[in-house]
Structure 1
Amino acid sequence: MTDANDSDAGTNDATPPENDGQRFDRLPATAAERVVPGRPTREEVVGWWEQRYGVPPETWEGHTFWEKGNGKLWAFAADVVSPIAVEGLGLRILRTRQEHWKPSTNAVQRFATEATKNVVVLDGDEATRFAKGEDQELPRWDGDWGYVVAAHEIAGAVEPIGVGLYLHGELRSTVPKGRREDLS
Protein backbone atom coordinates (compact mmCIF):
# COMPACT_ATOMS: atom_id res chain seq x y z
CA MET A 1 0.00 0.00 0.00
CA THR A 2 1.58 3.23 -1.06
CA ASP A 3 0.26 6.65 -1.85
CA ALA A 4 1.58 9.89 -3.29
CA ASN A 5 2.40 11.16 0.20
CA ASP A 6 4.54 8.13 1.08
CA SER A 7 8.04 9.23 2.04
CA ASP A 8 9.42 6.33 -0.01
CA ALA A 9 7.61 7.62 -3.10
CA GLY A 10 10.66 9.72 -4.02
CA THR A 11 11.57 13.38 -4.18
CA ASN A 12 13.03 15.69 -6.80
CA ASP A 13 16.01 16.95 -4.80
CA ALA A 14 19.50 15.45 -5.04
CA THR A 15 19.68 14.10 -1.48
CA PRO A 16 17.94 10.79 -0.89
CA PRO A 17 15.21 10.73 1.78
CA GLU A 18 16.19 9.38 5.17
CA ASN A 19 14.58 8.26 8.41
CA ASP A 20 13.04 10.87 10.65
CA GLY A 21 12.71 9.80 14.26
CA GLN A 22 9.81 12.22 14.76
CA ARG A 23 7.40 10.63 12.30
CA PHE A 24 6.12 7.33 10.94
CA ASP A 25 6.81 6.45 7.30
CA ARG A 26 4.97 3.61 5.58
CA LEU A 27 7.21 0.80 4.38
CA PRO A 28 7.36 0.42 0.61
CA ALA A 29 5.64 -2.69 -0.70
CA THR A 30 8.71 -4.04 -2.56
CA ALA A 31 12.39 -3.30 -3.05
CA ALA A 32 11.59 -1.69 -6.41
CA GLU A 33 9.62 0.98 -4.54
CA ARG A 34 12.29 1.62 -1.87
CA VAL A 35 13.73 5.13 -1.83
CA VAL A 36 15.10 5.41 1.73
CA PRO A 37 18.32 3.34 1.81
CA GLY A 38 18.14 0.40 4.21
CA ARG A 39 14.41 0.69 4.84
CA PRO A 40 12.84 -2.77 4.89
CA THR A 41 9.89 -3.49 2.63
CA ARG A 42 6.52 -4.98 3.47
CA GLU A 43 7.47 -7.99 1.37
CA GLU A 44 10.70 -8.50 3.35
CA VAL A 45 8.96 -8.17 6.74
CA VAL A 46 6.16 -10.62 5.90
CA GLY A 47 8.73 -13.00 4.36
CA TRP A 48 10.95 -12.80 7.43
CA TRP A 49 8.10 -13.73 9.82
CA GLU A 50 7.18 -16.64 7.55
CA GLN A 51 10.76 -17.89 7.05
CA ARG A 52 11.90 -17.47 10.66
CA TYR A 53 8.76 -18.47 12.58
CA GLY A 54 6.36 -20.00 10.04
CA VAL A 55 3.84 -17.20 10.62
CA PRO A 56 1.47 -17.33 7.62
CA PRO A 57 1.55 -14.23 5.37
CA GLU A 58 -2.25 -13.93 5.75
CA THR A 59 -1.64 -12.97 9.39
CA TRP A 60 -0.62 -9.52 8.19
CA GLU A 61 -3.59 -8.86 5.89
CA GLY A 62 -5.29 -5.62 6.84
CA HIS A 63 -2.13 -4.24 8.50
CA THR A 64 0.11 -1.48 7.21
CA PHE A 65 3.79 -1.39 8.24
CA TRP A 66 5.60 1.71 9.41
CA GLU A 67 9.11 2.74 10.41
CA LYS A 68 9.85 5.39 13.01
CA GLY A 69 13.45 6.17 13.73
CA ASN A 70 16.14 3.80 12.61
CA GLY A 71 14.70 0.32 12.21
CA LYS A 72 11.78 0.37 14.66
CA LEU A 73 8.87 -1.18 12.77
CA TRP A 74 5.20 -0.98 13.69
CA ALA A 75 2.07 -2.74 12.42
CA PHE A 76 -1.18 -0.78 12.22
CA ALA A 77 -4.56 -2.43 11.58
CA ALA A 78 -5.69 0.43 9.34
CA ASP A 79 -4.23 2.97 6.96
CA VAL A 80 -3.40 6.66 7.26
CA VAL A 81 -1.53 9.15 5.13
CA SER A 82 2.27 8.80 5.10
CA PRO A 83 4.36 10.31 6.56
CA ILE A 84 2.54 11.05 9.79
CA ALA A 85 3.95 12.80 12.85
CA VAL A 86 2.39 11.00 15.84
CA GLU A 87 3.89 9.43 18.95
CA GLY A 88 2.54 5.93 18.39
CA LEU A 89 0.85 4.05 15.58
CA GLY A 90 -0.34 0.51 16.20
CA LEU A 91 2.02 -2.04 17.74
CA ARG A 92 5.81 -2.12 17.59
CA ILE A 93 6.62 -5.48 16.00
CA LEU A 94 10.24 -5.61 14.98
CA ARG A 95 13.66 -3.99 15.28
CA THR A 96 15.68 -4.07 12.08
CA ARG A 97 18.79 -2.35 10.69
CA GLN A 98 21.10 -4.51 12.75
CA GLU A 99 22.73 -7.87 12.06
CA HIS A 100 19.77 -9.90 13.37
CA TRP A 101 16.19 -8.68 13.29
CA LYS A 102 14.48 -8.89 16.69
CA PRO A 103 10.73 -9.25 17.17
CA SER A 104 9.05 -7.44 20.06
CA THR A 105 7.40 -9.26 22.96
CA ASN A 106 4.05 -7.72 22.01
CA ALA A 107 4.38 -8.88 18.41
CA VAL A 108 5.20 -12.45 19.41
CA GLN A 109 2.29 -12.57 21.85
CA ARG A 110 -0.13 -11.12 19.28
CA PHE A 111 1.05 -12.54 15.94
CA ALA A 112 3.05 -15.72 16.68
CA THR A 113 0.16 -17.83 17.93
CA GLU A 114 0.33 -19.70 14.61
CA ALA A 115 4.14 -19.94 14.55
CA THR A 116 5.44 -23.34 13.48
CA LYS A 117 9.21 -22.76 13.51
CA ASN A 118 11.68 -21.76 16.19
CA VAL A 119 9.12 -22.12 18.96
CA VAL A 120 10.59 -23.38 22.24
CA VAL A 121 7.79 -24.92 24.32
CA LEU A 122 8.67 -24.58 27.98
CA ASP A 123 7.38 -26.71 30.84
CA GLY A 124 5.79 -25.03 33.88
CA ASP A 125 9.00 -24.36 35.82
CA GLU A 126 10.86 -23.19 32.71
CA ALA A 127 8.01 -20.87 31.73
CA THR A 128 7.92 -19.42 35.25
CA ARG A 129 11.66 -18.71 35.15
CA PHE A 130 11.38 -17.20 31.66
CA ALA A 131 8.52 -14.88 32.70
CA LYS A 132 10.64 -13.69 35.66
CA GLY A 133 13.38 -12.69 33.21
CA GLU A 134 15.78 -15.47 34.18
CA ASP A 135 18.18 -17.11 31.75
CA GLN A 136 18.36 -20.90 31.88
CA GLU A 137 20.23 -23.86 30.46
CA LEU A 138 18.10 -25.59 27.84
CA PRO A 139 20.27 -28.19 26.09
CA ARG A 140 17.27 -30.13 24.72
CA TRP A 141 16.52 -27.46 22.06
CA ASP A 142 17.86 -28.61 18.72
CA GLY A 143 16.42 -25.83 16.55
CA ASP A 144 18.00 -22.66 15.24
CA TRP A 145 20.04 -20.37 17.40
CA GLY A 146 18.99 -16.75 17.69
CA TYR A 147 15.69 -15.16 18.60
CA VAL A 148 13.01 -17.76 19.31
CA VAL A 149 9.38 -17.73 20.40
CA ALA A 150 9.22 -18.92 24.00
CA ALA A 151 5.86 -20.57 24.59
CA HIS A 152 3.97 -22.66 27.12
CA GLU A 153 1.05 -25.05 26.80
CA ILE A 154 -2.08 -23.65 28.45
CA ALA A 155 -5.52 -25.32 28.27
CA GLY A 156 -4.39 -27.58 25.43
CA ALA A 157 -2.95 -24.81 23.24
CA VAL A 158 0.60 -23.54 22.89
CA GLU A 159 0.66 -19.81 23.69
CA PRO A 160 3.62 -17.48 23.13
CA ILE A 161 5.08 -15.93 26.28
CA GLY A 162 7.70 -13.75 24.64
CA VAL A 163 11.02 -13.58 22.83
CA GLY A 164 13.99 -15.59 23.93
CA LEU A 165 17.56 -15.60 22.66
CA TYR A 166 18.91 -19.12 22.32
CA LEU A 167 22.72 -19.48 22.20
CA HIS A 168 25.11 -22.27 23.22
CA GLY A 169 22.51 -24.36 25.08
CA GLU A 170 21.11 -21.40 27.00
CA LEU A 171 17.74 -19.67 26.64
CA ARG A 172 18.03 -16.02 27.57
CA SER A 173 14.84 -14.24 28.52
CA THR A 174 14.33 -10.88 26.82
CA VAL A 175 11.11 -10.10 28.72
CA PRO A 176 11.28 -6.34 29.40
CA LYS A 177 11.87 -5.50 33.09
CA GLY A 178 8.51 -3.79 33.42
CA ARG A 179 6.68 -6.85 32.06
CA ARG A 180 8.34 -9.56 34.15
CA GLU A 181 6.04 -11.67 36.29
CA ASP A 182 6.54 -13.98 39.25
CA LEU A 183 4.17 -16.84 38.41
CA SER A 184 5.34 -19.19 41.17
Structure 2
Amino acid sequence: MNDDTAPDENWGQQFDRLPQSPDERVVEGRPTRQEVIDWWTERFEIDPAIFENYTFWEKGAGKIWAFSGEVVDPIRVEGLGMRILRTRQRHWKPSTNAVQRFCREATKNVIELSPGEAKAFVAGHDQQLDRWDGDWGYLVAAHDIAGEREPLGVGLYLHGELRSTVPKGRQEDLKKRHR
Protein backbone atom coordinates (compact mmCIF):
# COMPACT_ATOMS: atom_id res chain seq x y z
CA MET A 1 0.00 0.00 0.00
CA ASN A 2 1.29 3.49 -0.67
CA ASP A 3 1.60 6.13 2.05
CA ASP A 4 -1.34 8.16 0.68
CA THR A 5 -3.88 5.32 0.93
CA ALA A 6 -5.56 4.49 4.21
CA PRO A 7 -6.34 0.80 4.93
CA ASP A 8 -10.08 1.52 4.65
CA GLU A 9 -9.84 2.75 1.06
CA ASN A 10 -9.91 0.79 -2.17
CA TRP A 11 -6.62 0.99 -4.06
CA GLY A 12 -6.50 -0.13 -7.69
CA GLN A 13 -2.87 -1.22 -7.64
CA GLN A 14 -3.24 -4.12 -5.21
CA PHE A 15 -5.45 -7.10 -4.48
CA ASP A 16 -7.35 -7.09 -1.18
CA ARG A 17 -9.06 -10.22 0.11
CA LEU A 18 -12.84 -9.92 0.42
CA PRO A 19 -14.10 -9.99 3.99
CA GLN A 20 -16.02 -13.07 5.10
CA SER A 21 -18.99 -11.07 6.44
CA PRO A 22 -20.33 -7.50 6.58
CA ASP A 23 -19.00 -7.19 10.15
CA GLU A 24 -15.45 -7.61 8.79
CA ARG A 25 -15.92 -5.09 5.95
CA VAL A 26 -13.37 -2.26 6.11
CA VAL A 27 -13.75 -0.73 2.64
CA GLU A 28 -17.19 0.74 1.96
CA GLY A 29 -18.90 -0.90 -1.01
CA ARG A 30 -16.62 -3.95 -1.08
CA PRO A 31 -18.69 -7.13 -1.32
CA THR A 32 -18.14 -9.97 1.12
CA ARG A 33 -17.13 -13.49 0.22
CA GLN A 34 -20.60 -14.69 1.19
CA GLU A 35 -22.32 -12.05 -0.97
CA VAL A 36 -20.29 -13.19 -4.00
CA ILE A 37 -21.11 -16.86 -3.41
CA ASP A 38 -24.78 -16.03 -2.78
CA TRP A 39 -24.95 -14.06 -6.04
CA TRP A 40 -23.58 -16.98 -8.09
CA THR A 41 -25.86 -19.52 -6.41
CA GLU A 42 -28.98 -17.34 -6.64
CA ARG A 43 -28.37 -16.15 -10.21
CA PHE A 44 -27.35 -19.48 -11.75
CA GLU A 45 -28.27 -22.09 -9.10
CA ILE A 46 -24.81 -23.57 -8.94
CA ASP A 47 -23.58 -25.51 -5.92
CA PRO A 48 -21.84 -23.07 -3.54
CA ALA A 49 -19.33 -25.83 -2.71
CA ILE A 50 -17.72 -25.15 -6.10
CA PHE A 51 -16.07 -22.10 -4.49
CA GLU A 52 -14.87 -23.92 -1.37
CA ASN A 53 -11.18 -23.87 -2.31
CA TYR A 54 -11.14 -20.30 -3.61
CA THR A 55 -10.40 -16.99 -1.96
CA PHE A 56 -11.92 -13.85 -3.45
CA TRP A 57 -10.05 -10.63 -4.04
CA GLU A 58 -10.88 -7.13 -5.24
CA LYS A 59 -8.53 -5.08 -7.39
CA GLY A 60 -9.78 -1.72 -8.47
CA ALA A 61 -13.36 -0.73 -7.95
CA GLY A 62 -15.44 -3.89 -8.13
CA LYS A 63 -13.21 -6.22 -10.12
CA ILE A 64 -13.48 -9.50 -8.23
CA TRP A 65 -10.98 -12.32 -8.73
CA ALA A 66 -11.01 -15.95 -7.53
CA PHE A 67 -7.76 -17.60 -6.48
CA SER A 68 -7.09 -21.15 -5.36
CA GLY A 69 -4.09 -20.93 -3.08
CA GLU A 70 -2.64 -18.76 -0.35
CA VAL A 71 -0.81 -15.44 -0.66
CA VAL A 72 -0.22 -12.47 1.60
CA ASP A 73 -3.00 -9.92 1.96
CA PRO A 74 -2.86 -7.30 0.51
CA ILE A 75 -0.67 -8.17 -2.47
CA ARG A 76 0.64 -6.00 -5.30
CA VAL A 77 0.62 -8.11 -8.47
CA GLU A 78 -0.90 -7.61 -11.91
CA GLY A 79 -3.14 -10.68 -11.79
CA LEU A 80 -4.22 -13.22 -9.21
CA GLY A 81 -6.18 -16.23 -10.36
CA MET A 82 -9.18 -15.45 -12.56
CA ARG A 83 -11.34 -12.35 -12.79
CA ILE A 84 -14.84 -13.66 -12.12
CA LEU A 85 -17.17 -10.75 -11.49
CA ARG A 86 -17.61 -7.01 -11.80
CA THR A 87 -19.49 -5.42 -8.90
CA ARG A 88 -20.05 -1.85 -7.67
CA GLN A 89 -22.61 -1.20 -10.37
CA ARG A 90 -26.36 -1.71 -10.48
CA HIS A 91 -26.14 -5.22 -11.95
CA TRP A 92 -23.20 -7.46 -11.19
CA LYS A 93 -21.62 -8.94 -14.34
CA PRO A 94 -19.89 -12.33 -14.47
CA SER A 95 -16.81 -12.77 -16.66
CA THR A 96 -16.69 -15.09 -19.65
CA ASN A 97 -13.91 -17.12 -18.02
CA ALA A 98 -15.89 -17.57 -14.82
CA VAL A 99 -19.05 -18.69 -16.63
CA GLN A 100 -17.04 -21.20 -18.66
CA ARG A 101 -15.29 -22.47 -15.51
CA PHE A 102 -18.09 -22.51 -12.92
CA CYS A 103 -21.43 -22.75 -14.79
CA ARG A 104 -21.38 -26.18 -16.43
CA GLU A 105 -23.90 -27.38 -13.85
CA ALA A 106 -25.95 -24.15 -13.75
CA THR A 107 -29.70 -24.79 -13.70
CA LYS A 108 -31.05 -21.23 -13.80
CA ASN A 109 -30.64 -18.35 -16.27
CA VAL A 110 -29.02 -20.54 -18.91
CA ILE A 111 -30.12 -20.01 -22.51
CA GLU A 112 -29.41 -22.96 -24.80
CA LEU A 113 -28.45 -21.90 -28.31
CA SER A 114 -28.88 -23.74 -31.60
CA PRO A 115 -25.75 -24.31 -33.71
CA GLY A 116 -26.38 -21.18 -35.79
CA GLU A 117 -27.19 -19.08 -32.73
CA ALA A 118 -24.07 -20.35 -30.97
CA LYS A 119 -21.85 -19.42 -33.93
CA ALA A 120 -23.37 -15.94 -34.07
CA PHE A 121 -22.97 -15.54 -30.30
CA VAL A 122 -19.28 -16.47 -30.20
CA ALA A 123 -18.69 -14.19 -33.19
CA GLY A 124 -19.99 -11.32 -31.05
CA HIS A 125 -23.32 -10.79 -32.80
CA ASP A 126 -26.49 -9.69 -31.01
CA GLN A 127 -29.59 -11.74 -31.85
CA GLN A 128 -33.34 -11.42 -31.57
CA LEU A 129 -34.41 -14.43 -29.45
CA ASP A 130 -38.00 -13.99 -28.33
CA ARG A 131 -38.33 -17.56 -26.97
CA TRP A 132 -36.58 -16.82 -23.64
CA ASP A 133 -39.08 -16.56 -20.80
CA GLY A 134 -36.67 -16.36 -17.84
CA ASP A 135 -35.02 -13.44 -16.09
CA TRP A 136 -33.66 -10.54 -18.04
CA GLY A 137 -30.08 -9.53 -17.45
CA TYR A 138 -26.87 -11.53 -17.62
CA LEU A 139 -27.33 -15.15 -18.71
CA VAL A 140 -25.13 -18.13 -19.39
CA ALA A 141 -25.21 -18.74 -23.14
CA ALA A 142 -24.71 -22.46 -23.71
CA HIS A 143 -24.63 -24.94 -26.57
CA ASP A 144 -24.58 -28.73 -26.82
CA ILE A 145 -21.13 -29.97 -27.84
CA ALA A 146 -20.50 -33.71 -28.17
CA GLY A 147 -23.58 -34.48 -26.07
CA GLU A 148 -22.66 -32.12 -23.22
CA ARG A 149 -24.00 -28.66 -22.49
CA GLU A 150 -21.05 -26.26 -22.65
CA PRO A 151 -21.18 -22.66 -21.42
CA LEU A 152 -19.96 -20.40 -24.23
CA GLY A 153 -19.99 -17.12 -22.34
CA VAL A 154 -22.10 -14.32 -20.92
CA GLY A 155 -25.06 -12.89 -22.75
CA LEU A 156 -27.14 -9.88 -21.79
CA TYR A 157 -30.82 -10.50 -22.46
CA LEU A 158 -33.05 -7.42 -22.78
CA HIS A 159 -36.33 -6.84 -24.66
CA GLY A 160 -36.16 -10.08 -26.67
CA GLU A 161 -32.53 -9.59 -27.69
CA LEU A 162 -29.52 -11.62 -26.60
CA ARG A 163 -26.44 -9.44 -26.68
CA SER A 164 -23.10 -11.19 -26.87
CA THR A 165 -20.54 -9.94 -24.36
CA VAL A 166 -17.79 -12.26 -25.60
CA PRO A 167 -14.64 -10.12 -25.57
CA LYS A 168 -13.38 -9.32 -29.08
CA GLY A 169 -10.05 -11.01 -28.40
CA ARG A 170 -11.83 -14.25 -27.41
CA GLN A 171 -14.30 -14.42 -30.30
CA GLU A 172 -11.86 -16.04 -32.73
CA ASP A 173 -10.62 -18.54 -30.12
CA LEU A 174 -14.17 -19.63 -29.35
CA LYS A 175 -15.06 -19.95 -33.04
CA LYS A 176 -12.14 -22.35 -33.53
CA ARG A 177 -12.90 -24.30 -30.35
CA HIS A 178 -16.61 -24.76 -31.05
CA ARG A 179 -16.65 -25.66 -34.74
Q: TM-score, normalised by structure 1?
A: 0.90
**For residues 150-175 of structure 1, what are the alpha-carbon distances to aligned partners after superposition, in whole Å with 9 as ceiling and x for unaligned?**
00011221110000000000000000
CA distance in 1 between partners of 2:77 and 2:144 (Å): 38
- Superposed, 1:37-116 pairs within 5 Å as 37-116=28-107
Matches of 2:153 and 2:58, distance apart in 1: 22
Matched, 1:133 2:148: no
- Structure 1 stretches lacking a partner, 5+ long: 1-6, 8-14
Amino-acid identity (%): 67
Task: From 25, 29, 45, give the equivalent of 2:16.
Answer: 25
- Local SS of the residue matching 1:128: helix
Runs of 4+ more than 4 Å apart = none
Shift of residue 16 of structure 1? 6.5
Distance change in 2, residues 1:16/1:79 (3 Å): closer
Unaligned runs of 5+ in 2: none
How many residue pairs are counted as aligned between the two chains? 171
After TM superposition, the structure 1 = structure 2 runs for residues 103-182 of structure 1, keeping only pairs within 5 Å, are: 103-181=94-172, 182=175
Query: How high is the TM-score relative to the length of structure 2?
Result: 0.92
2:56 maps to a residue whose letter is F
Amino acid at match of 1:68: K
Alpha-carbon distance between aligned partners in 2 of 1:74 and 1:152, rounded to the nearest angstrom: 26
**1:65-87 Cα shifts (integer Å, max 9, x gaps):** 00000000000011211000011
Once the two structures are superposed, what CA deviation does each residue of 1:50-74 show, in whole Å capped at 9, x if it has no partner?
A: 0000111001011000000000000
